[in-house]
Amino acid sequence: MSQEQTTAQEGQAAEAALALEYAIPPRQRFNPFKWARREPFGAFGLVLIGLVVFLSLAAPVLRTSPPNEFAVGPPLAGPNADNWFGTTARGKDVWSRVLFAGRISLKIGIATVLLGTLGGTLIALVSAYAGGAVDFAVGRIADMFISIPGILIALVLHSSISADLPDLPGLQRQELYLVIAISLFFMPGTYRIMRGTVLELREATYVEAAQVVGSSSFRIMWRHVAPNMFGLMIVITSISLPAAILTEATLSFLGLGVPIGGLDAVPSWGADLSGSSRRFFSVAPWLAIFPGLALAITVFGFNIFGDSLRDTLDPRLRGRI
C-alpha cells in the first residue's frame, strides 16, 4: 500500500466523519413504540386520555342510565353492584353522571383551545405584520387581559353577554359562553408567544436565504414559517387543554357554567360537586369523590401527555410554557 493511498483513505474517512457530524439526519419515520419507550409518562398520559375519551363517548352502552333520570336506585346508596359509584339524594346513578359529564368537559375543552390558540395565533400574525400602532394597541389590550385573573373575566362576561348569546348548532348558549370566556384566558398568552415567534422567524437567516434565492412569499410562509408555528401551536394546545377543562369545571362549580337542575341539565363534574349535593358530602362521600377523581385523572392525563409532547416537539420551551 503506497503512502498516497493511505492519505487518500484517511482523507475519505475524515470526510465521512465530517459528513456524519454535519449531515442533516435523514427524516425519521415517527415510531410510536420508540416514542413510548423514551417518554413513558407521555405514553401513560395518552392511555389515560384514550380511556377518558372512550368512557365518555361509549357512555350509553356502558351500563349507564340517562344521567338525569331519578330513582334509578335507592337514594344515597353507597357504591354497590347495581350502582357502581353509588347514587345521589334523588337516586340518580353517579356512574352514569360521571361518564356523561366527560362529554361536556372534552367538548368545551377542545372548542376552547381551538378558538384560543387559533384566535391568538391569528391576532399575533396580523399584529406582527401590521406593526406600528396596531401592534402597540393589540399588545396593550393583551396586557390588560393578562392583568385580570381569568375567572374574573368569566364573571364579568357572565353578567354581561351570557344571556344574549345565540344557541349554535351543537353548542348551547351556556356552552358558547363557556367557550368564549375560557378561550379569553388563553388568547393573550398565545398571542404573546406567537408574536415573539413570528417576529423571530421573520428575521431568521433561513427565511432571508429563501428570499435571496427568490422563493415566493407563499412558499416561504408555507415551507419555512408555518412548520415552525404548527409545532408550537400543537404544544400550546396540549398544554392549555387540561387548564381549559379545569376552568370549565371551576366555572360550573361556581354556578356560572352549564345549566344545572331541570331536565335539560347537563351533567358536569364541576356542577356535580357544587350546590345542593354539597349538603350530602359528609354522609355520602362518593358524591364528592368520583366526579372530582374523574376530573383529576383527565387533567392528569392531558398534563403529562402535553409535557412530553412539548419535550418531543420543542425542548427549548421547557420551563417557558
Partner 1 sequence: MTRYIVRRLVAVPFMLLGISFFLFMLLYIRPGSAAFAAIGSVGDADPRAFENFEKRFGLDRPWYVQYGDWLWGALQGDMGERLTPPHDDVMGDIIEVLPNTLEIGLLTIFISSVVGVSVGVLSAVRRNSILDYGFRGITIMGLSIPNFWLMILVIYLPALWWGWTPARQWVVFTDEPIYNLSLAIWPAMTLGLASSAGIARFTRTSMLEVLFSDYVRTARAKGLRDRRVIWGHVFRNSLIPVITLLGLQLGGVLGGVVIAEQLFTVPGLGRLALEGVTDQDYPVVLATIMVFAFVFIIVTLIVDILYTIVDPRIRY
Quote the CA–CA distance of 321 and 317 in Å, as a whole number. 6
Quote the CA–CA distance of 126 and 121 in Å, as a whole number. 9
Provide the minimum distance between the beta carbon of 132 and partner 1 in the complex, in angstroms, as a whole number.
Answer: 19
Nearer to partner 1, 28 or 159 (CB): 159
Provide the minimum distance between the beta carbon of 296 and partner 1 in the complex, in angstroms, as a whole number.
Answer: 5
C-alpha cell of 190? 398565545
Nearer to partner 1, 108 or 249 (CB): 249
CB under 8 Å to 165, separation ≥6 — which residues?
Answer: 173, 176, 177, 180
Rule CB under 8 A: which residues touch partner 1? 41, 140-141, 143-144, 146-152, 155-161, 163-164, 242, 246, 249-250, 253-256, 270, 273, 278, 281-283, 285, 288-289, 292, 295-296, 299-300, 303-304, 307, 318-319
Nearer to partner 1, 201 or 295 (CB): 295
Nearer to partner 1, 72 or 187 (CB): 187
Provide the minimum distance between the beta carbon of 202 and partner 1 in the complex, in angstroms, as a whole number.
Answer: 25
Quote the CA–CA distance of 105 and 102 in Å, as a whole number. 5
At position 141, the amino acid (one-letter code) is: I
Helix (H), strand (E), coil (C) string for 21-40: HHCCCCCCCCCHHHHHHHCH
**Backbone phi and psi for residue 87, each to the nearest 5 degrees, phi listed first:** -130, 165
Nearer to partner 1, 229 or 317 (CB): 317
Quote the CA–CA distance of 180 and 108 in Å, as a whole number. 10
At 12 the three-state DSSP class reads: helix
Provide the minimum distance between the beta carbon of 64 and partner 1 in the complex, in angstroms, as a whole number.
Answer: 22
Provide the minimum distance between the beta carbon of 36 and partner 1 in the complex, in angstroms, as a whole number.
Answer: 18
